[in-house]
Amino acid sequence: MTPRIRLAAPADAAAINDIYNYYVPRSTCTYQEEPEPLAARVSWLAAKGPEHPVTVAEAEGRVVGWGCLTTFRARSAYRYTCEDSLYVHHALHGRGIGAAILADLVARARALGYRAIIAGIDAEQPVSIRLHARQGFVEVGRLPQVGYKFGRWLDVVFMELLLPDGGPEVGGAASVTPARAPAARPGDGPMCANQ
């Protein structure tokens, strides 16, 4: 099955919601515990701007999956980083739909000038982890026991895809990447933990 990926339209809200809500009571692929009301999905879709596209995968005349790019964090310094989400109809796994959606999201993120795409994936979702790894995402961290669903604690795996051409150029010898940042010393200035 080769799906056609396109931007979502308002008429797709019900199909998007049906695909998503199937997983809410059954899976840790979403940490939402109550089904999303259709009215909330309609509002969510209407509020999406061009910098955070929602796409659908269409095959044989119906929506078979969807994906989106969202804000990673609200503070302005994160404006070149986005987060991806994608869901495939539960009866159509293993047919390349998720790969097509994710490849399209990556292409859209590049075209929009993003520098990084983040994926937060439940550790019990190895298919999603492998899907992202095949697109070049690498694991950059794990948060143990940050979710609680189905009577158990859940871990989140964070994966990242760097898009080297995204974002503004960093110039001058004074720029320091986080990996080479000097250790803080007493008196160096404020230390922050909530970024």
What's the whole-number mean pLDDT along residues 27-42? Answer: 98
pLDDT of res. 181 = 39
Decide if pLDDT at 194 tops 60: no
Decide if pLDDT at 114 tops 80: yes
What's the whole-number mean pLDDT along residues 39-52? Answer: 97
pLDDT tens-digit series, residues 49-91: 999 999 999 999 999 999 999 999 999 999 999 999 999 999 9
pTM for this prediction: 0.87
Domains and CATH numbers, the chain: 4-117 (3.40.630.30)
DSSP the chain: --PEEEE--GGGHHHHHHHHHHHTTT-SSS---SPPPHHHHHHHHHH--TTS-EEEEEETTEEEEEEEEEES-SSGGGTTEEEEEEEE-GGGTTSSHHHHHHHHHHHHHHHTT-SEEEEEEETT-HHHHHHHHHTT-EEEEEEEEEEEETTEEEEEEEEEEE-TT-S----STT---GGGPPPP-TTS-------
